[in-house]
Amino acid sequence: MPSKHTAHPDATLTLVPGQVDLATLRRIQAGGVKLALDASVREGMQRAEAAVRHIVENDQVVYGINTGFGKLASTRIGNDHLAELQRNLVLSHSVGTGEPLAAPVVRMVLATKAVSLARGHSGVRPALADALLALFNAGVMPRIPAKGSVGASGDLAPLAHLACVLIGEGEATLPDGRVVSGAEAMKHIGLEPFVLGPKEGLALLNGTQVSTALALAGLFGAEDVFASALMSGALSLEAIQGSIKPFDARIHAARGQPGQIAVAGAVRTLLEGSEIVPSHADCGRVQDPYSVRCIPQVMGACLDNLAHAARVLVIEANAASDNPLVFTDTGEVISGGNFHAEPVAFAADIVALAVSEVGAISERRLALLLDSGLSGLPPFLVRDGGLNSGFMIAQVTAAALASENKSLAHPASVDSLPTSANQEDHVSMATFAGRRLADMVNNTAVVVGIEAMAAAQGIELKRKLRSSPLVEAEFAAIRQQVAFLETDRYLAPDIEAMRQWALKADLPAALLDILPSHS
């Protein structure tokens, strides 16, 4: 069935700061929508801007408005240099390196930065938030280097590259793929480059939007491979004629873990109506290996952790995370540390653990399928073994990627390297924590895709009965991608096709409905 987050082309989503949900963020990432801020936010933004203007006009000294930054916070800046101060801040912090962030991530950065500014605590003109959404709506993507943030004081370097476009500097990519200057990008959306007012540069640079967008992209990818891994697990269970008894609802209710209960229920739904399941009910087989029998326990724990990470990240996507913050009810501007991305780093690390485990248990099921002593299938899933190696080396690839994920799953949040002359003496490393998820999701997609391809081979090798309607439909979809392996052939294109299968989002509702961004 189609994914619930499939957007109608050019549909307009109205963003209410503080209420942007996970499904909306998924649609933003996917593109094909336009964005607008709810009209109610403008008054709050204007009040905060007026509070900043009042500070300047009354010659009050407030950090970030008329002072230097970081270790230079005690340096007073004259009113005649405030525009230069903000411009210099953006330019001096544009020190990122590496390949540009992918468009889906940049879309979320543009949207969440606009939402953050629209919370009314940043003290900037509404026009800045409007310009960010104008870039989004025109498909103009600021080129943001992927590396260079430690995830504290905000994602300073990446967000500086975003801000550069607003002031006519830096680079952006147009919808046709052309890379143009920031000035040309602004012209493309019909705007003049901004001359930044007091605090506006700092408000654009401070914040966790880049690390949050990277972590969200990782979360959504993790959801996709999680759902595909449940399907590949069901295919494997049918291929080895495994027992359905470990998925009995009473077992999981007795433990009470919600993810475990949901996963067991999803697998039961997938296998409902199978002819294979009852055909071996009295075969005398007592217990399957853990990689099959404990799918609810392992995948359920992964699901619970994805749900926790989702709760953290959706809060962060709606947050006012720059510094200082303006509170218009009292007229105060208070300096704090909302730019510290520790919540995002922990959430990304949790997603990493889940992604790694999804791939790890999938690889073990793949190994089980290839082991004729355990699976009852021909060695390496090929009829003329010896002359043909079958899936032997495909499992080696899966093992290599599952092992690589173990290293990538090492927590980034426990690392810290002080910056800014020890003013910023503890940092989150959240940006790397989120960025490495893309590689992990891709690795796991390959592993899960190989398992599904192997399980389909196993089902066909001893095909006498049909599985359930849902599993048979997915079997047919796999066969549209890859043919039965009669003799050895060039497998790399098949593996790539199955990687893409594992990242799709049109699986049965029984799988999608238990995911955080769909529920």
- Annotated catalytic residues are 63
CA–CA gap between residue 474 and residue 231 (Å, rounded)? 8
* Residue 284: φ, ψ to 5°: 85, -5
Tokens linked to 335: 């300096």
Question: CA 103: distance to chain centroid?
Answer: 13
CA–CA gap between residue 94 and residue 205 (Å, rounded)? 10
Q: Give CA separation, 107 vs 34, 139, 380, in Å.
A: 11, 9, 44
Contact status, residue 337 vs residue 371, Cβ threshold 8 Å: no
Residue 326 pairs in a beta bridge with 333
Grouping H, G, I as helix, E, B as strand and the rest as coil, residue 42 is helix
Residue 181 pairs in a beta bridge with 171
Q: How many CB atoms lie within 10 A of CB 372?
A: 13
User: In the chain, what's the furthest Cα-to-Cα distance?
Assistant: 87
Taking the C-alpha atoms of 466, 468, 469 and 473 in order, what is their torsion angle to the nearest 10 degrees?
-70
**Closest by alpha carbon to 424, among 333, 345, 340?**
340
**Closest by alpha carbon to 379, among 362, 364, 363, 367?**
367
Q: What is the CA radius of gyration of the chain?
A: 26
Please classify residue 124 by burial: count the beta carbons closer than 10 Å to its beta carbon, then call 0-12 exposed, 13-18 middle and 19+ buried: buried
Q: Give CA separation, 194 vs 50, 125, 132, 134, 165, in Å.
A: 18, 11, 12, 14, 9
* Residue 316: φ, ψ to 5°: -65, -35
Name the one residue in this structure whose structure tokens are 């870039």.
135
Contact status, residue 451 vs residue 369, Cβ threshold 8 Å: yes
Q: How many CB atoms lie within 10 A of CB 423?
A: 13
CA–CA gap between residue 189 and residue 487 (Å, rounded)? 56
Name the one residue in this structure whose structure tokens are 């069935």.
1
